[in-house]
Structure 1
Amino acid sequence: MIIVRYGEIALKGKNRKTFENKLIENIKKALARKGIEAKVRSTQGRLIVDAPHELAEIVRKVPGVVSVSPAWKMEYEEIPEFLSTHLRNMNPASFKIDARRINKAFHKTSQQINEEIGAFVVQRFGWKVNLNQPELAIGIEMIEGQAYVFFETKKGVGGLPSSTQGRLVLLMSVGIDSPVAGFLMLKRGVSLTALHFDQGHAGLARQMIDVLNQYSSEPIELIVVNHLEYFQPYVTELERMGKREWTCVICKVLMLKKAEEIAKERSALGIVTGDSLGQVASQTLENLFLESSVVKMPIYRPLIGMDKDETVRIARQIGTFEIFVEAARHSCPFRPFSVVTKGSTYGLNKILEHFKSKSLW
């Protein structure tokens, strides 16, 4: 058995059951991708997954799940015998009992359970009690009159079940930022379509998508555009205009326009980027303003206020950091020696007008 706990879903009022059912559906899908057909039921603010304990690692990655505990189900009176058998080869420096009575139907309070089972463990094993920093925490949750006993709780993704908030198009590089941005939107219930401008490492982008798929209720479509073929005509014109320093801004503008085009085709409601304020030349306030002005749909930037350490921490947590390290050996072939950091609307419009005259815009 695996106990699943959720957070925000409990605050959804009349829509709670809809979100809960979606979470159940998504857990089943995640397990089905591994060839596992599992029963999942809702009871007293918990989900109970009838599956082997080792599958808790899959379940915890489903958006909407706050935490999971691989557990054993039994009658309350069976707990002492179970602990005698299960703990006999352990010798922790300290322990505590962490019991919760999920509702008041059970005749003992949480504190009474703590004291009763704790006293048994002390008498049986002679272990020291430490309520603040125990080496071993023994969890007990009383659900529908049954005891669920567990020894670990794994943190989940949290947020909302995926595919409950509509679709967005993710500008997907093989850098550290955009996969993290995609993950953060997945955990807010979004479905993603990914757009990648390939510079010869589309395989790494697919690896990134494989990681993100662990957190999505549906396979993420990856659309690959050849970076060199797509941008070369524009870079050539910038060189002719003597505006090579605008390359990074124009590159981002063109990416956003392509993303908007795909968003309309896929009935998506916006675009996601990995922009972090001030991180690179195209991400100054002035340039972000210019880039946003060329599209007519929302651009979501979940990393906008994060520093690099925060982004790296999440990348390590979700499993995309190692792929980024491999991709970091590559650099953009179009990057100019100097770049515009505070572009003007006038300057951008002059360039776009020139592109129009060449049938490029």
Structure 2
Amino acid sequence: MKIPTNQEEPGTNVNMAKKWLVRYSEIFLKSDPVRRQWERVLINNIRQLIPDLKIKSERGRIWITGNLDPEKLRHVFGIVSFSEVEHVPHDLPLETALIEYCRTHGLPGAKTFALRIKRVGKHSFSSNDKAIELGDVVRKAFPHLKVNLAVPDVEIHIEIRQDECYLYDKVIKGSGGLPLGVEGTLVALVSGGIDSPVAAWMMMKRGCRIVPIYVALDTFLDETVLARAERVVEVLRKYQPDIRLRVIHDTYLAAAKKELIRNRQEKYTCIFCKRRMYRIAQAVAQEIGAKGIVNGESLGQVASQTLDNLVVLSDAAEIPVYRPLIGFDKADAIAIARDIGTYEESTSKATGCKAVPKGPSTKAHLKEILEMEKNMEATKIPLPV
């Protein structure tokens, strides 16, 4: 590649190898040892999702050569954006390559354009100087064009890295976040509704591998609810290829509800149910070495999620409970669900929980709940894990 060089006649048939330029952000801010480790994790995650690729990395950039579905790259956490690029061969003048690229990437039919230059390394020119120089070359080849740096019809990017040069016209947004797995594993309580898969996805985005569990409440939840949860987890597979829903059947709630009704304390049904689920999730976490539990609880959204009741629920677990949606409005969770693809399945037809009482408690007291559990026969039912 010659930078700069005398212009050759535009229109030359240019044979440029196609590549993908992958950008990450937060990884770049880490210390060198952590950055290198997380880069390797990110590359392994790309390979797991899209096999048979040639991949190399340099600080701040990952280069991919091979056939791939760009939609799949959008599902790899840690990627902030990516572009299909054309590499300018060393023996080809940049001006010639740029004009041919512009000819096949929308400039003939456009009215305005902009060149975006990014440089890495030492050069005899500045990015602004090169942009002016190449802009003049483009306008000479396409006299009808005008420069519009604010809102151009077509944007052409030129990335010069040391003595290499790449051209691209689109920047595709990725999922961002941290590479999946760099922060360890969490157990996710997944019901199949809108919130729990969104919460799981949010922790995936922060580098947590997720093990989703569904607690099947015998006599209170039917197969339609389980089927919905399975479909939702299948959507999450786009982001974590090895994800698998673990279904755990439990008879505790049926026995506990009978006792609550007999003692005229049915209003605490959801509290007892969720405390049981926390204990089941904790047992699974201890079994697999997970570092905590994640669920879709949002403050004040339903009766069991008041501040008073969340205190009672949190007491049931001896490991951290993460609630990434705690301050979200329902509309916020719905917007994310639509964006990540779980909304349609989460709102598909399924029966509700038949255990919910008509007047659930919104202000449970921990001391009272602990005393009730101590005196209940149902509490003696062993955890099903």
Aligned partner of 1:224 in structure 2 is: 247
Distance 1:325-1:357 versus aligned 2 partners, 3 A rule: closer
Alpha-carbon contact 1:44-1:143 (below 8 Å) kept? no
**Residue type of the alignment partner of 2:339:** Q
**Residue type of the alignment partner of 1:208:** V
Whether 1:69 and 2:83 are equivalent positions in the alignment is yes
CA–CA distance in structure 1, aligned partners of residues 122 and 21 of structure 2: 19
Whether 1:130 and 2:148 are equivalent positions in the alignment is yes
Aligned partner of 1:168 in structure 2 is: 186
Paired residue for 1:86, among 94, 104, 107? 104
Paired residue for 1:341, among 362, 365, 368? 362
The alpha-carbon deviation at position 44 of structure 1 amounts to: 4.0
**Residue type of the alignment partner of 2:179:** P
Distance 1:84-1:59 versus aligned 2 partners, 3 A rule: closer
Whether 1:284 and 2:299 are equivalent positions in the alignment is no
Which moves more between the two structures, 82-91 or 176-185? 82-91
The alpha-carbon deviation at position 211 of structure 1 amounts to: 1.9
| Cα distance per residue 1:252-301 (max 9 Å; x no partner) | 11111110111111111110011111111111111011000011110011
Distance 1:349-1:143 versus aligned 2 partners, 3 A rule: same
The alpha-carbon deviation at position 18 of structure 1 amounts to: 0.7
Which moves more between the two structures, 71-80 or 181-190? 71-80
Aligned partner of 2:230 in structure 1 is: 206
The alpha-carbon deviation at position 120 of structure 1 amounts to: 2.5
The alpha-carbon deviation at position 90 of structure 1 amounts to: 4.8
Instruction: Report SS of the residue matched to 1:105.
Output: coil
Alpha-carbon contact 1:187-1:215 (below 8 Å) kept? no
| Cα distance per residue 1:160-187 (max 9 Å; x no partner) | 1111111110001111111111111111
Alpha-carbon contact 2:193-2:229 (below 8 Å) kept? no
Whether 1:112 and 2:129 are equivalent positions in the alignment is yes
Alpha-carbon contact 2:181-2:208 (below 8 Å) kept? yes
The alpha-carbon deviation at position 19 of structure 1 amounts to: 0.8
The alpha-carbon deviation at position 131 of structure 1 amounts to: 1.1
Paired residue for 1:148, among 162, 166, 182? 166
CA–CA distance in structure 2, aligned partners of residues 267 and 356 of structure 1: 30
Distance 1:8-1:207 versus aligned 2 partners, 3 A rule: same
**Residue type of the alignment partner of 1:118:** G
Distance 1:204-1:225 versus aligned 2 partners, 3 A rule: same
Alpha-carbon contact 1:68-1:154 (below 8 Å) kept? yes
Distance 1:136-1:287 versus aligned 2 partners, 3 A rule: same
The alpha-carbon deviation at position 84 of structure 1 amounts to: 4.5
Which is higher, the Rg of structure 1 or of structure 2? 2
CA–CA distance in structure 2, aligned partners of residues 314 and 92 of structure 1: 35
Aligned partner of 2:49 in structure 1 is: 30
Whether 1:267 and 2:289 are equivalent positions in the alignment is yes
CA–CA distance in structure 1, aligned partners of residues 62 and 255 of structure 2: 55
CA–CA distance in structure 1, aligned partners of residues 24 and 379 of structure 2: 55
CA–CA distance in structure 1, aligned partners of residues 171 and 186 of structure 2: 32
Aligned partner of 1:293 in structure 2 is: 315
Whether 1:180 and 2:195 are equivalent positions in the alignment is no
CA–CA distance in structure 2, aligned partners of residues 357 and 18 of structure 1: 48
Which moves more between the two structures, 144-153 or 17-26? 144-153
Instruction: Return the TM-score normalized by structure 2.
Output: 0.86
The alpha-carbon deviation at position 68 of structure 1 amounts to: 0.8
Give the length in aligned residue pairs: 352
Distance 1:118-1:283 versus aligned 2 partners, 3 A rule: same
RMSD over aligned CA atoms reads 1.9
Which moves more between the two structures, 281-290 or 147-156? 147-156
Aligned partner of 1:315 in structure 2 is: 337
CA–CA distance in structure 2, aligned partners of residues 234 and 132 of structure 1: 65
Instruction: Report SS of the residue matched to 1:214.
Output: coil
Which moves more between the two structures, 347-356 or 64-73? 347-356
| Cα distance per residue 1:285-336 (max 9 Å; x no partner) | 1101100001111001111111112211111111101111214x53111111
Q: What 5-or-longer segments of structure 1 have no aligned partner?
A: none
Which moves more between the two structures, 54-63 or 77-86? 77-86
CA–CA distance in structure 1, aligned partners of residues 42 and 26 of structure 2: 12
CA–CA distance in structure 2, aligned partners of residues 90 and 249 of structure 1: 66
The alpha-carbon deviation at position 62 of structure 1 amounts to: 0.8
CA–CA distance in structure 2, aligned partners of residues 284 and 134 of structure 1: 50
CA–CA distance in structure 2, aligned partners of residues 203 and 226 of structure 1: 14
Aligned partner of 2:63 in structure 1 is: 48
Aligned partner of 1:247 in structure 2 is: 269
Which moves more between the two structures, 155-164 or 124-133? 124-133
Alpha-carbon contact 1:234-1:360 (below 8 Å) kept? no
Distance 1:129-1:344 versus aligned 2 partners, 3 A rule: same
CA–CA distance in structure 1, aligned partners of residues 48 and 183 of structure 2: 18
Distance 1:262-1:124 versus aligned 2 partners, 3 A rule: same
Whether 1:16 and 2:39 are equivalent positions in the alignment is no
